[in-house]
Every structure is written in C-alpha cells, then in structure tokens.
C-alpha cells in the first residue's frame, strides 16, 4: 500500500483550513482526489469559503445566461 508523504498530507490540511476547496487543493497538490479527501474530510469548509463558492456559482450562472441569451 502506498503511503502519502506526511508533508503533503499536512499541506493538504493546511490549505483546507485556509478555505481551499477540494478542487483547488487537487490542482495545487496534484494528488488523487480520493487521497486528498481522505486527509481533509474532518476539516469543514469555512463559512467564508462557502460564501465565496456561492458567489462564484452565481456569477457563473449569470454569465452563462448572458452568453446563451
């Protein structure tokens, strides 16, 4: 069984505590999604990060409406 480098695990956990989403951590660390998820699943996404994601999703939806209208 492959053991993930503890330094990478701590980097994943640190990024999550800073409000990074799973997708953002995947792009930054370049580890498989399930590996990262296993190490950050106990760290909830901050309220600020949830608000940021909601704003980005709203902006993306509004932008697509303008493009396809």
pLDDT digit string, tens, across residues 12-66: 999 999 999 999 999 999 999 999 999 999 999 989 888 988 988 887 777 665 5
19 in any annotated domain: yes
38 in any annotated domain: yes
**Spatial distance between the Cα atoms of 25 and 37, rounded to a whole number of angstroms:** 10
For 40, the domain range is 6-68
1 in any annotated domain: no
39 in any annotated domain: yes
23 in any annotated domain: yes
31 in any annotated domain: yes
User: Looking at residue 61, what is its pLDDT?
Assistant: 74
20 in any annotated domain: yes
What does pTM read for this prediction?
A: 0.76
Q: Is the pLDDT of residue 69 over 60?
A: no
Q: How many domains is the chain partitioned into structurally?
A: 1
- Under 8 Å between Cβ of 29 and 15: yes
């Amino acid at each position: 069984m492959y053991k993930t480098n503890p330094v990478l695990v701590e980097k994943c956990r640190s990024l999550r505590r800073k409000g990074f989403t799973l997708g953002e951590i995947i792009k930054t660390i370049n580890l498989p999604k399930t590996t990262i998820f296993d190490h950050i699943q106990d760290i909830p996404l901050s309220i600020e990060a949830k608000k940021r994601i909601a704003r980005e999703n709203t902006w993306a939806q509004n932008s697509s409406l303008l493009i396809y209208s």
